[in-house]
Amino acid sequence: MNPLDIARWQFGITTVYHFLFVPLTIGLSALVAGLQTAWVRTGNTGHLRATKFWGKLLLINFAMGIVTGIVQEFQFGMNWSAYSRFVGDVFGAPLALEGLLAFFLESTFLGLWIFGWDRLPKKIHLACIWIVSVGTLLSAYFILAANSWMQHPVGYHLDPATGRARLTDFWAVLTNSTMLVAFPHTITAAFVTAGLFMVGISAWHLARRRHVEVFRPSLKIALAVTLIASLGVAVTGDLQGKVMTKQQPMKMAAAEALYKTERPASFSLVTVGTLDGRKEVFSVKVPRVLSFLATGHFDGKVDGINDVQAAEQAKYGAGDYRPVVPVTYWNFRIMAGIGFLTAFLALLGLWLMRRGRLPRNRWVWRAGVLSLVLPFVGNSAGWIFTEMGRQPWSVYGVLKTSASVSPGVSATSMLISVLALTTLYAVLIVIETGLMLRYVKAGPPSEEDVAPPPPGDDSSAEPSLTFAY
Amino acid sequence: MEATTVWFVVIAFLWTGYFFLEGFDFGVGVLLPVLGRGDTERRVLLNAIGPVWDGNEVWFIVAGAGTFAAFPDWYATLFSGFYLPLLAILLALIVRGVALEYRGKRDEPHWRRRWDRAIFGGSLVPAFVWGVVFANLSRGVPLDARHEYVGTLADLLNPYALLGGLTTLTLFVLHGAVFLALKTAGDVRARAVRIARAAVVAAIVVGGAFLLITQVQHGKPVTWATVAVAAAGLAGAAVAVVRGRDGWAFVGTGTAIVFAVVTLFTALFPDVMPSTIAAANSLTTTNAASSPYTLKIMTIAAVAFTPLVVLYQGWTYWVFRRRIHASHIPQPVPEPAKDPEPAR
């Protein structure tokens, strides 16, 4: 294997892995903050028990997101030094702002929230988890601004002296049209993730009729969040499709395995191509739907892979500008299919739970538990689609992935890196999942556990910490 | 001052803050098996850094990302050139972060023992390797005309750099011991003071040698002053440790770390990565820097937000200012049942 392939595999593995934890952190921190707010406002200990239960799971997940994020920050320099030199002037700024504005907030206030239960006034303690939640959103904003610049570079020019990208308009980078649709799409997907995570775990307990007073409210909140967020995902996904058709026509064509330009274009339900993914062999299609998805009109023109390839060759010179079509095609289908499925499941769940009902059918609860897997698959498929669909470019139309890799790092070093990280990540996911399952099964703390200590107790000695490592 | 110089100072400030802060929590991690006899005592150590270690670590992330934004070539050459040492640091930080968060989540001796080892190793490796990395920065590394690192791993493991590694390790262990003396009470504190007495001697010998060599080989006249302040910090720490003045001892070790890092960066300026092949190949604050426009934006952000960060991080230390004693450590939370009885 050459260094380029190894570096790409490492980026793929570490990024998909990192993004297993990130959306859950984003969505769940807001939901936990909401539950804690409900407790602070009503004094209902059911909400406090729910806050503690979901908060524990949030922390188990948060830790993994934080540590795997460190690799993300530095592998640009390690494996992609040519890329870093080329884009640093533009791309480095949002990353630095993410650290300065978001990471400091998240880590500091998360520490205050974890250890501050008995040290801070109730409302200030509550503010801490909200600040953490805002931190996660800020972080998403800056990193998506950086990624959107790779999809659709704006606010820069190429320095004739160095041949590198130079920032000319930072505001343009922060308000990139690609970012404006990618950000709400990612955030709503994060809420679907947290929603179905809560649905799955609540369903597991409710199937056994355990802790109903905690999990019934959790389930209803989670279903409502999932439904609203799923609709948000669909709407923003649709907007994104139209932006993508304009900005990266090849990615849209590859998402559909549409080889020849069509007007009107049909949406593919199944397309089977040749093994090298270069030609269509068989397909089942719905007429005109792709035209609508891509352009907003039922008779809009959608460019095919072969025509975009010819156009890009004319623009950028000889070369292959086609991504790996089976990868983009199937990941696009997995992503979109799961998007619709989650909306349907949430609606079904709300209907089954209407007016105090608790379904008896075992299969309902099994489906509820299993739905937990969906958003994680959907999120991964979405990122694999959007990153693989941009290939062969690392910065679309400006810098190729093959020209981005570190020239001075040997394949051996890179292999050591990818093997060490993959092995470590594999071990950690087993440990993390085991710990999650343990705390899921243990259920929320009891009424007595969360009751405040009776007054006068412990007055002689300093009280022990309510939370400690 | 030119924008590139401003950003050199900002980057130096971020690294200084990082080593001052995470220096003591690395030290606590290394001292975990030595100072913590039994689970409760080890929990005293860990809870002393529990609320703050993660915020401390972000200084590294921001130093790295700030370098990416302000000096892309420095970021690219540093991280691709020092590939394996930095990989070791990343792996250690991953293991350490998970270990700190997960250790207390199960009340089983073998589970906790394993994570204790992870915390020890995950603290030891970066405490040593950071010294190796920064010593090599000041010594210079083989860079070609395109600013690519053309040396090997063995080139980075030269005696001067290894002495640098020992310096950060001993300084951080001392800093950690002094921090524990300040933040704990009872047996752990008594042991931390004893360790600090030994560690301060080691730090004076090793760190003194390293700073002297650095000054003689790479220093400027002005860095004599910073070396002197660092040395005074260590001497002050030694006196304060002997007299049992915990706060002053921490000020002393903090001063030593801050001025050791300031010495390295001042000696480096205006280079950021000197080349041992030809001076023309060196990366400098000028040829590694981003455009004036990017630096201006970054300056505005740094001026607006850095004071805020320092303020709220400082507040965290105030909230958790109380000394921790073994009696404060709560009984382990009842173990989540392994296989709850099916209730249907």
- The string of DSSP letters for A177-200 reads HHHHHHHHHHHHHHHHHHHHHHHH
Share of chain B above pLDDT 90, in %: 87
Which residues of chain B are within 8 Å of residue A89 when distances are taken between CB atoms?
Answer: 72, 290-291, 294
* Maximum distance among all Cα pairs of chain B, rounded to whole angstroms: 80
Q: Which segments of chain A have a pLDDT < 50?
A: 458-460
* Interval B87-100 mean pLDDT: 96
Name chain A contacts of B55, Cβ cutoff 8 Å: 104, 107-108, 111
Distance CA(A357)–CA(A374), nearest Å, equals 25
- Inter-chain touch B98–A100, beta carbons under 8 Å: no
Cβ–Cβ of A208/B77 closer than 8 Å?
A: no
Decide if A112 and B57 are in contact by the 8 Å CB cutoff.
no
ipTM for the whole complex: 0.91
Backbone angles phi, psi at A400, to 5 degrees: -85, 150
Residue B186 has pLDDT above 70, yes or no: yes
Report CB contact under 8 Å: A103, B62: yes
Query: Under an 8 A CB cutoff, do A88 and B93 touch?
Result: no
Query: Computed from CA positions of residues B176, B177, B178, B181, in that sequence, does the dihedral angle turn out positive or negative?
Result: positive
Spatial CA neighbour of A75 closest among B65, B8, B130, B69: B65
For testing the chain A interface, which of B54, B281, B341 should be mutated: the one with the most A CBs within 10 Å? B54
Higher pLDDT, B295 or B322: B295
**Percentage of the residues of chain A whose pLDDT score is greater than 90:** 74
| pLDDT score, position A321 | 92
Contact A223, A353 (CB under 8 A): yes
Which of B62, B298, B325, B338 to mutate to test binding with chain A, by most A CBs within 10 Å of its CB? Answer: B62
Contacts with B316 from chain A: Cβ below 8 Å: 108, 111-112
Residue position matching structure tokens 């590198």: A164
Per-residue confidence (pLDDT) for residue B93, from 0 to 100: 97
Helix (H, G, I), strand (E, B) or coil at B150: coil
Q: What is the pLDDT of residue B333?
A: 57
Q: Which residues of A touch B70 (CB under 8 A)?
A: 92, 96
* Of the partner residues B79, B100, B290, the one whose CB lies closest to the CB of residue A89: B290
Q: Using an 8 Å CB-CB cutoff, list chain A residues near B330.
A: 464-466, 468
pLDDT value, residue A101: 93
How is residue A155 written in tokens?
Answer: 């606010």
Interface touch B98/A67, C-beta < 8 Å: yes
Q: Give residue-wise pLDDT tens across range A54-85.
A: 999 999 999 999 999 999 999 999 999 999 99
- Could you tell me which of A108, A39, A53, A5 has the C-alpha nearest to residue A452? A39
Amino acid B323: pLDDT: 87
User: For residues A134 and A26, what is the distance between their CA atoms, to the nearest angstrom?
Assistant: 9
Shortest Cα–Cα distance, B164 to chain A (Å): 22
Residues of A whose CB is below 8 A from B293: 166-168, 170
Model confidence at B343, pLDDT cuts 50, 70, 90, reads: very low
Provide the pLDDT for residue B334.
53
pLDDT value of position A277: 63
Query: Choosing among A56, A81, A409, which should be mutated to test the B contact, i.e. which has the most B CBs within 10 A?
Result: A81
Of the candidates B91, B100, B105, the beta carbon closest to that of A435 is on B105
B144-177, pLDDT tens digit by residue? 999 999 999 999 999 999 999 999 999 999 999 9
Per-residue pLDDT at B339 exceeds 70: no
Mean pLDDT of chain B: 92
% chain B with pLDDT above 70: 96
Comparing CB atoms, the residue among B80, B84, B302 nearest residue A81 is B80
Note whether A394 and A150 are within 8 A (CB): yes
Contact: A438, B84; criterion CB under 8 Å: no
Give B97's contacts in chain A (Cβ within 8 Å): 63, 66-67, 70
CA distance B150 to B166: 25
Six token digits for residue B267:
């000696």
Q: Is B94 close to A68, i.e. CB distance below 8 A?
A: yes
Question: Which pLDDT value is given to residue A153?
Answer: 95
Looking at residue B336, its pLDDT comes to: 55
Per-residue pLDDT of B106-138, as tens digits, reads: 988 999 999 999 999 999 999 999 999 999 999
Choose the closest CB to B343 out of A62, A108, A208. A208
Q: Chain B interface, mutation test: which of A61, A74, A462, most B Cβ atoms within 10 Å?
A: A74
- State the burial class of residue B187 (Cβ atoms within 10 Å of its Cβ: 0-12, 13-18, 19+): middle
pTM: 0.92
pLDDT of B55 higher than 80: yes
Q: What is the pLDDT of residue A162?
A: 87
Cross-chain Cβ contact A468/B340 below 8 Å: no
pLDDT higher than threshold 50 for residue B340: no
pLDDT at position B341 is: 47
pLDDT band at B26 (very low <50, low <70, confident <90, very high): very high
| Chain length of chain A | 469
